[in-house]
Chain A
Amino acid sequence: MKRKWFFLFLILTSTSLISGCWNARELPDLAIVSALGIDKNEDGKYVGTFQIINPSYVTGGLQGGGGGQGPPVTVYSSTGDNIYELTRRLSTKSSRTLYYAHTNLLVISEDLAKKDGITNILDAFERDYEFRTTAMIVIAHRSKAEDIIKTLTPLDKVSAVKVIKTLKNAESLLGEEPTVTLQEVIRYLVSPGKEPLISGITLIGKKKNANKVANTQESSTPQARLESDGIAVFKDGKLVDWLHGKTARGTAWVLNRIKSTIVNISWEREKPAIEYTVMRQKTKVSAHTKKGQPQISIHIHAEGDIGEVSVPVNLNDPHVLRKIEIEVAKTIKKDVNDAIHRAQENKTDILGFGEAFHRSDPKEWNKLKTNWNDVTFPKLEVNVTVEAFVRRSGLRNKSYLSELKNKR
């Protein structure tokens, strides 16, 4: 019996010692950081901007919660020589402990990304046990990270949430801007066969009014607003180029990151005539060596619906559909080729061709990898084949436009 109690005591005491690193923290003692922006000032020091959620003002007229009108977020900033210093320096300004577990957005300014690169600043985020590596990372395009963080937005009151939702929405409906998380960026940075892409966000309109509550209180377009804006292309951790529109989408096609997108095709010399919505797609990138020369072939299989026609066209006719499919395939192929050329011009393998080589022929890859980005990749021969398929034509086969044509 004595033995039993002794063991019980032993177990109970040892369990309290092996519990690891944690502490009890009450919610009112925490400052929930929703977004974090990193800039660099003239003195060469990092400037961190912390967007802290103000819970009472986010939830609005809540009983016992205070309610009232006020900004949904509070922004603090601090300067330091490295990232970790920033967060510690902030304690002189904040009454609550900063809490990073809900930080889902990391904004890096374009200047910083161009001049110094992002390589040096990501370690702190990956190392910290609170900060999530699944946080989305964006580049502030044509503005400072601080401005993005400070902007107040309507609908989604916390602008970090607004940015994340906007980017995800754009990715899933338009497919032009693949979103990336912190861990993906770090993985691509270290991978020799792939360079990172980070989507951009920009602040447009009257920047001075961005951090006023009034900015959220207009029914028309807010005076200052956040919009997704292109994808930043990195080489050796430094921003080298921005991709927009079709080039960005072509890149997304190669990366197999298209969830849904639209393709406009011309029909009988009219352009744009038919709108094709991609519902599903599959892109296969395969690498092989032909006569000692590395080659890449990309096969894209797209499947989708007819979204809109602006010319009278008979969708009952299989020949017509076949023609549409060929047109769509052409258009997609053009986008993809453009994107590949752009990447080759930039001499940075954002498309992951190197990884494809690594997978198919590791021995050959070992020879190629040293000069991959600068020598081999820009001269790489890429064959693109696209196969498009019209699955449905919506609720109508024949557009009323054809009847209108008959009437005349």
Chain B
Amino acid sequence: MPPFFKYKKQKVHTDQSKDTQDSANHHVPEPIESSLSANLDSIKQKTGHSSDIIVRTIITGNTSLHKASVVYVAGLVDTQAINEFLIEPLQTNHDLLEKLYQQDGLDKVTKEFITLGSVHPVTNWDELFLSLMSGDTIILIDGSNKAWSASSKGGERRSIQEPSTQVSVRGSKESFTESIGTNIAMVRRIINNPDLWIETMKIGKVTRTDVSIMYINGIAKTEVVDEVRKRLKRINIDSILESGYIEQLIEDQTITPFPTIFTTERPDITAGNLLEGRVAIFVNGSPDALLAPALFIGFFQAVEDYYSRYDIATATRFIRVLAFFISLIGPAAYIAITTFHQEMIPTQLLIIVAAQRDSVPFPAFVEAIIMEIAFEILREAGIRMPKVIGSTISIVGALVIGQGAIQAGIVSPATVIVVAITAIANFATPSYTVAISARLIRFLFMIIAAVFGFYGIILGFIMLLVHLVSLRSFGVPYMTPLAPFIPKNLGDTIIRTPLWAEKIRPRLISSTDNPVRAGEDQKPAPPQKRGMKKKNTR
């Protein structure tokens, strides 16, 4: 690299890191004052008199009147709970505030009167705003330099709905929502075990988004958990709007079309992966949980594989892997055959293809590229289009591109068939993320096939394979258990062995101390002795 750029890049880099370090080191949180009015003033001032910050001041007491304020953000809180369990007891119990002034008064009050879930003291402004903005209610008392934060998260949220991208015929119909609490609870409902550990942190300088990592203590590898924690702590960015932000900031390899972190919107997939020793990362506001470390073969494992019997599951998984290959090299193989290897197909088929291609003005490659790009445009438009006019897409797509192009003699029917099969095969991949990467690589394969034929396709495959085995996901080789070859873990790859035969967890992913997942002799069998048979007593 020329020294000019090197210098420039380094400079920018150091400046940035210096800035952030400075701000992180020199920030000392301001303590809360004891005057209520002063406190309220500074809240108003710091929030810019935002109208959704609700301040409710209560004056109560038997002997002397005391002032207390309840501060919360409208919409983020469960208003009914605040009214019933916080404001009402404060107003009706006249000796409450008096007790507040006693030694450990607040402790007593919270224990005796405030019936809301969790209450904890806050002493500085940073903590105060953090809990206020995440939906807690702050209780400020005149004359006290401690505030109390009562958990009152609530407000309108999307309810739990059916999964939209990872659909299954059999199995739970729940999918994650935007609320991190709900999401974590959904997983907890599946894994009722105290070993399911959760660590929460705030990431994003401005958004201060809740990010939780979840793992099963004893099953997850500590090295992986530490690595995930380390990478999350490293993040220094102003906003985390979706789990995709986290994914892009913590992945091992950035120059690859393949995802090295698995995303899911299903609690059962998350639970299953946690039980294999993976770490789940939840981000508030995102209905997609991240699972790491991800393996390449994991993107072909649909959740239904585990719910249906192993023979069916193996067959469908084989179809899926096949579909992935078709979606990779479908058009490329067509181009290679029609421009290089005409001898490879039966004479009759060649005649049919030749008859179609006779009137087409473009070479096979151009033709295939035209159709592929047309299809990609169609697909992209279909996603972004308002739902109301969605049906227009299918009409335009089917009539203009399908019928019209063939009748006009611009493309041959064989090309349309190949492109259509490829497109359908692409949708057979259960993971959308890896399906997109296949889309991308397909174009490379088409180009290499147009230049070198099948020879090029094989070269491309070799390069792809080299790239795949070079990938790591949180230190775990991407192609595990195929490369490195782990025979004991092959049961859940291209084939799926019966559940009773899968006795150990994935070796490189889960903790090595606790590899056994099923006991001996799990294979079900008919009873040894039937009621009808005489017992052999001798």
Contacts and interface: CB of A to CB of B under 8 A. Distances in A.
Tell me the dominant secondary structure on chain B's binding face. helix
Interface string B436-465: 000000000000001111010001000000
A24 B340 contact: yes
Interface stretch (B51-59, B67-75, B225-233, B354-362): B354-362
A15 interface: yes
Interface stretch (A58-66, A221-229, A335-343, A350-358): A58-66
Contacts of A102: 342-343, 347, 350
Given A15-B459, A32-B351, A55-B352, A25 B358 contact: no
A101 interface: yes
Nearest to A156: B348
Given A22-B340, A63-B407, A102-B347, A27 B354 contact: yes
A56 interface: yes
B400 to A, nearest CB: 15
6 contacts: A19-B452, A24-B453, A25-B342, A56-B358, A64-B412, A65-B355
A158 B355 CA distance: 14
A66 B352 CA distance: 12
Given A24-B340, A34-B347, A16 B354 contact: no
A91 B340 CA distance: 21
Nearest to A62: B355
A-B residue pairs, 5 tightest by C-beta: A101-B343, A55-B355, A55-B354, A65-B355, A59-B355
Given A27-B342, A130-B343, A66 B355 contact: yes
A64 B353 contact: no
A27 B455 contact: no
Nearest to A102: B347
Interface in A10-28: 15-16, 19-20, 22-28
A26 B356 contact: no
Contact of A64 (B340, B409, B455): B409
A130 B344 CA distance: 11
B453 A32 contact: no
A27 B339 CA distance: 7
A27 B364 contact: yes
B363 A26 contact: yes
B338 interface: yes
Contacts of B450: 24
A121 interface: no
B413 interface: yes
Contacts, number: 91
Give the interface size bracket for A toward B.
Answer: 20 to 34
Contacts of B406: 63-64
Interface string A85-121: 0000000000000010110100000000000000000
Given A63-B406, A64-B412, A26 B340 contact: no
The main secondary structure of chain A at its interface with chain B is loop
A26 B347 contact: no
A66 B338 contact: no
A158 B347 CA distance: 11
Contact of B351 (A16, A24, A28, A59): A59
Interface in B341-387: 342-343, 347, 350-360, 363-364
A30 interface: yes
Nearest to A53: B351
A32 B354 contact: yes
Interface of A: 15-16, 19-20, 22-28, 30, 32, 34, 53, 55-56, 58-59, 62-66, 99, 101-102, 104, 130, 132, 158, 161
B357 A58 contact: no
B340 A66 contact: no
Contacts of B452: 16, 19
B358 A26 contact: no
B339 A56 contact: no
| B351, B451, B452, B459 pick with most chain A CB within 10 angstroms | B351
A62 B352 CA distance: 9
Interface in B128-149: none
A64 B359 contact: yes
Contacts of A28: 354, 357-358, 360
Interface in B316-355: 338-340, 342-343, 347, 350-355
- Count chain B CB atoms within 10 A of each CB in A27, A32, A34, A158 and give the residue with the most: A27
B429 to A, nearest CB: 29
B355 A56 contact: yes
B88 to A, nearest CB: 68
A20 B455 CA distance: 10
B324 to A, nearest CB: 25
Contacts of A15: 459
Given A19-B452, A34-B347, A130-B343, A64 B352 contact: no
Contacts of B350: 27, 32, 102
Contacts of A27: 338-339, 342, 350, 353-354, 357-358, 364
A19 B455 CA distance: 7
Nearest to A34: B347
Contacts of A56: 355, 358-359
A56 B359 CA distance: 9
Contacts of A20: 455
A287 B453 CA distance: 51
A55 to B, nearest CB: 4
A380 B413 CA distance: 63
A213 to B, nearest CB: 18
Contacts of B347: 32, 34, 102, 104, 161
